[in-house]
Structure 1
Amino acid sequence: MRTPRTIAVVAHSGKTLDGGLDELRRRITGHGVEKLLWYEVPKSKKAPKKVRKALDAKPDLVVAWGGDGLVQRTIDVMAGSSTPLAIIPAGTGNLLATNLGVPADLAGAVDVAFEGKRKRVDLGKLNGEHFAVMAGIGFDGAMIQDADKDMKARLGKLAYVWAGIRHVNGAAPRAQVKIDGIDWFDDEASCVLVGNVGTITGGIQAFDDARPDDGWLDVGVATAQGALQWARALGTMAVGRSDRSPFVRITRARRVDVKLHSKLQYELDGGAREAAKKLTAEVVPAAIKICVPRVRVPSEQPAAEEALVG
């Protein structure tokens, strides 16, 4: 694979991983890069402008350093682009990186950026904004909103669990959900999730069979109310398939329409958004090219090894 000659880095300056941004620069330039474009932002919301500027320079590769928020903002701009994206997981949850097998250490993530495979993956698009992992409303959206920056800094992924506990006794709103235009659910729902991958916020395996390259979105509705029912639902997810829980219903669709009887906050890839009463999510097949680890088939041997054997 040809080494990318022009690299654009979009980095959240408040995130750290191993040796930090100085180490990232050193490792990138060690790969024979001819031109390095460097953009730092103090918060994820500032990333889109820098990503657009980076793409205007026509780089061979865009590297995103940060957490789920910066990655989501980056893919929203890069959707439909032929330029590959490399993720350096420097956040708390690192949902997309984890689902794609990108290493959680700086050296491993940079190695994937330069030596990994460029894989086309689907994205979801909710109310005009792209997401790569999931979108959620109800209990999930409230949980994300409460897991603030300070809490995540202190507790890591447990911040989402702690925040969630504070919402399990809330009243479940009524939700009407259509799957590809067909009525599918009309009842009280504590949470409605639309996923592109299997593992979601807090490390929960919500969609056991989800794949980011199958052209579908997985859809889940949770009807659990109160701490006891949620404990049973999460316990089933922990030891078996989530769709085995009596409080969870799961299917697939290319378009999902959700109508609520009252406005609720929703979230995209772990980032809270304003309250809404109607949501429309659609799959965007093969929307972005992302660097992922290479998986060698056991029976395959590199050419050099074959030459030695022969």
Structure 2
Amino acid sequence: MLAKRFPKMRLLIIVNSIVAQTHPEQVEKAIRLLRNSCVESRVTETGKPVEATKIALRARYDDIDRVVVIGGDGTINEVVNGLVGSKIPIAVIPLGTGNTFATNFHIPLSLHEACEVAVGSNIISIDVGLLNHRYFACVAGIGFDAHVLHQLQPTFKRRFGKWAYAIASLRHLLRYRPSLVEVRIDGWERFKTDAWLTVISNVPTYALNFKFTPKASPCDGYIDVCIFFARSRIERLKQAALSLLGYHVHLNSVLYRRAKWLELVSSPRVLAHVDGEPICLTPVSARVIPHSLNVVVPKDWADTAKVVQ
């Protein structure tokens, strides 16, 4: 049983319906632990696209103190899109495939520990990115990774879990065709190049612990941009391998910038995603929205960020 941190706290618990079907015992246990820690809670399952966004938007006008998401990065992203600009904090119980959000904000994968964090008192204000019409808390990608995510079948993800993305990436890495991109950054830099991947990120760590943007921080008022130029296939393999440690930023075939905004046009048009969800084709524009989302985090993370009381 969790300690009653906030006996008067009212929780809205949003559960991804697929997670509820695949991990019913864990979901039930999480709900039970959370309900024991507050005076009032409401549980809602989501199954349709953007349904979690609509629920989170309604929560802004209800008497809700905190929204807790039980699920993965896709459901978290939908809730983020409903809470940006409000004072209601988001807490996360990570039961997804990649759990990029949980990794970057040090949210434990242990169910009991994650619930302890979710009802804790450490709340920070973070930046979010905006790609066209969709907010993202962690990362947006243009080109290769969005293509891989689009090709992934739900059954394949359930079978291989977090390794599904790695397997699919290896299948497509050398076959994916780069595109000619024209990029404008903060109004002072403009260039054209052949690129196979552009990452726009708010956090340092991506899926499978790839460090595409190792200098990124969700509290610095910037988005970090990493563009992988298309040279040879050998160079592409080198870029990908060094990205595991963040050393790719030293290659002359990689461009790394901290930015307030970015515009990108490509030929041919390519897919873009936010937090692992493909949403549109290029052209895209992206910008940072500073300190616009409140997040419940462990104490060690809160000690290094701006705490909201």
Q: Same fold (TM over 0.5)?
A: yes
- 96, 118, 121: which one pairs with 2:123? 118
Aligned to 1:303: none
Match of residue 195, structure 1, among 201, 207, 224? 201
Deviation for aligned residue 1:285: 0.4
Task: Go from structure 1 to structure 2 and tell me whether the alpha carbon gap of 1:116 and 1:73 turns closer, same or farther (over 3 Å shift).
Answer: same
> Deviation string for 1:217-263 (max 9, x for gaps)?
00010114565222211222234523023332111100011111222
Letter in 2 for 1:263: R
- Pairs aligned (count): 296
User: CA contact under 8 A between 2:212 and 2:246: conserved in structure 1?
Assistant: no
**Superposition deviation, residue 282 in structure 1:** 0.7
Larger Rg: 1
What residue identity is the alignment partner of 1:13?
A: S
Greater mean alpha carbon deviation, residues 143-152 or residues 63-72: 143-152
- The answer to whether the Cα contact below 8 Å between 2:68 and 2:91 also exists between their aligned partners in 1 is yes
Match of 1:19, SS state, is helix
The one-letter code matched in structure 1 to 2:90 is L
* Alignment equivalent of 1:85, drawn from 90, 94, 98: 90
Measured in 1, the distance between the counterparts of 2:190 and 2:256 equals 10
Counterpart in 2 of 1:185? 191
Give SS of 2:96's match. coil
* Counterpart secondary structure, 1:59: coil
1:144 aligns with 2:149: yes
RMSD over aligned Cα atoms: 2.1
Kept in 2: contact 1:4–1:61 (CA 8 A): no
Question: How far 1:12 moved relative to its partner?
Answer: 0.5
Aligned: 1:11 with 2:11:
no
- Shift in alpha-carbon separation, 1:70–1:239, aligned structure 2, 3 A: closer
Kept in 2: contact 1:236–1:245 (CA 8 A): no
Aligned 1:278-289 pairs, distance under 5 A: 278-289=283-294
Q: Whole-Å Cα distance in 1 between the matches of residues 209 and 182 of structure 2?
A: 27
1:167-246 map, 5 Å: 167-168=172-173, 169-224=175-230, 227-246=233-252
Q: Say whether 1:97 aligns with 2:102.
A: yes
Where 1:190 maps in the other structure, the secondary structure is strand
CA distance in 1: counterparts of 2:302 and 2:145, whole angstroms: 38
The separation in 2 between residues aligned to 1:108 and 1:8, in whole angstroms, is 19
Unaligned runs of 5+ in 2: 304-309
Q: Which residue of 2 aligns with 1:306?
A: none
Shift of 1:112: 0.5
Q: Within 1, Cα distance between the matches of 2:138 and 2:52? A: 18
Q: Which runs of 4+ in 1 moved over 3 A?
A: 1-4, 16-19, 224-227
Give identity over the alignment, percent: 27
**Helix, strand or coil for the counterpart of 2:256?**
strand
The aligned counterpart of 2:258 is 252
Native 8 Å contact 1:170 1:226 kept in 2 = no
Which one of 111, 115, 136 corresponds to residue 131 of structure 1? Answer: 136
Match of 2:307 in 1: none
Task: Using the TM superposition, name which of 253-262 and 167-176 deviates more.
Answer: 167-176
Cα distance in 1 between the residues matched to 2:191 and 2:209: 26
The match for 1:55 is: 60
**Aligned residue for 2:306?**
none
